[in-house]
Every structure is written in structure tokens, then in C-alpha cells.
Amino acid sequence: MALINVKTREVQIKIVYYGPGRGGKTTNLEYINHTYRNQIKTEMVSLKTHDDRTLFFDFLPFDVGRIRGFDVTIQLYTVPGQVKYNATRRLVLRGVDGIVFVGDVQKELRKKNIESLNQLYENLETYNLDLFKIPLVMQYNKIDLRKSNIPILSSEVLQRDLNGLLRVPAFEASAVNGGNVIPTLKKIISITLASIQDQLL
């Protein structure tokens, strides 16, 4: 839940990038960190394994300015995507306000996307949160692989698999080149802020 401090007039919002392993969650944050370096006061924190995969989370705080007299900080987190780290994923989701689900468009990862989304639903349930109610944006990442002749899933298939029931905003993206990384971020920020605006008096 967003933390609203009425004394210091500050709001802290937690947005988590969730999805299967090696899907591009960390790459999204790295691109945001690079693009908005001037607005980001601190270094990005990455807790990685020796082979450079996310062990716990990446963390990037991000000031978005003043809204209704409150200074708003967006705290971006990623979760570790590897299957064995579900306990850690659940810990990172604590207090989440908005989620970007980063799916991988590679054909061979179709099942992993669906499994990851199902697990997100279950993990949110442990905090009494409902995937159908929480601010959520879908991102279908790695569309640049189309040029490399690697078999990829069409948007229609991904929408049917992952977004058929949820019907949330969705973006095709290429996080490695920055394609649609910022539109995804802007969309999740705007719908998350809209979800808490009644609390900003």
C-alpha cells in the first residue's frame, strides 16, 4: 500500500516488475536508470548472483514531482525470475501498489509466461491482493528477436494467454533498445497514481 506522509507531504509508491526469468525486468530498470539519470538521486541497487542474475531484487527510486501538494517518489523493484526463488518474489511483493508483468515473446517460453502470471496471482493472494484489481500493465518484451529469425509469439497469442481475462494496458517492447520501456513506465505510474488519488487530500 502506498505510504502517504501527511506531515512531510510525501508519497512513496511501490511498483514491481514481475515475470519469468531472463525476461528483461532488470533491463527495463537499467534503461530507466540511464534515461532519467538526472531525476534519480541514488544509484540503482542490484542484488545479483555471481552469474549476473537477480538474486533478490533491483531497486530504483524515482521522483515524479509534486501531485496535489505531495512529493511523489516511485520505487521501482524487480523480482528474481528463476523458478526456485518464489519465496523471494513473494517478499518483494509486500506493499506493492502497481505491477508491470514482463512477458517474454519467445515461442518456447509461452508456458513459462503463463506459469509466472499464475504464480503472481497466488503470491498476491497471500497479501490479500487481487490481480484483477491491482494496477497492472503487460509488457511483451524482446520483439527485436523478430529480426533474428527466432520464433516469437504474436501479440494476439500473448494477449489471449496473458491478458484475455485481465484486459489491462499492454505494450510490445524491446527493453534492450529501450523500445516502449518509458511508455510502459508512464502507463503504470499513471494508473497507480489514479488508484490512490482519493487518499491525497
Partner 1 sequence: MLNKNQLHAIDHAIETHLIAAGVDHVIYMDMGGNTIAKHDNGKTRLDSTAFAALAAGNFATVDAMAKLVGESEFSLLFHRGEKLSIHFSKVTNDTLLVSMFTREISLGMVRLKVGATIKEISRVLVGVAL
List residues binding partner 1 (CB under 8 A).
1, 3-8, 12, 14, 41-43, 45, 47, 56-57, 59, 61, 73, 75, 77, 87-88, 91-92, 94-96, 199
**Which of helix, strand or coil describes residue 133?**
coil
For the bound state, the minimum distance from the C-beta of residue 113 to partner 1, rounded and expressed in Å, comes to: 26
CA 158 – CA 43 distance, rounded (Å)? 34
Nearer to partner 1 by C-beta: 61 or 169? 61
Is residue 116 a contact partner of residue 104, using CB atoms and an 8 Å limit?
Answer: no
Is residue 150 a contact partner of residue 106, using CB atoms and an 8 Å limit?
Answer: yes
For the bound state, the minimum distance from the C-beta of residue 2 to partner 1, rounded and expressed in Å, comes to: 8
For the bound state, the minimum distance from the C-beta of residue 170 to partner 1, rounded and expressed in Å, comes to: 26
For the bound state, the minimum distance from the C-beta of residue 156 to partner 1, rounded and expressed in Å, comes to: 36
Is residue 78 a contact partner of residue 114, using CB atoms and an 8 Å limit?
Answer: no
Nearer to partner 1 by C-beta: 30 or 104? 30
Nearer to partner 1 by C-beta: 15 or 162? 15
Nearer to partner 1 by C-beta: 45 or 150? 45
Amino acid at 77: Y
**Which runs of consecutive H residues, i.e. helices, occur in the chain?**
25-35, 86-92, 110-125, 155-163, 181-196
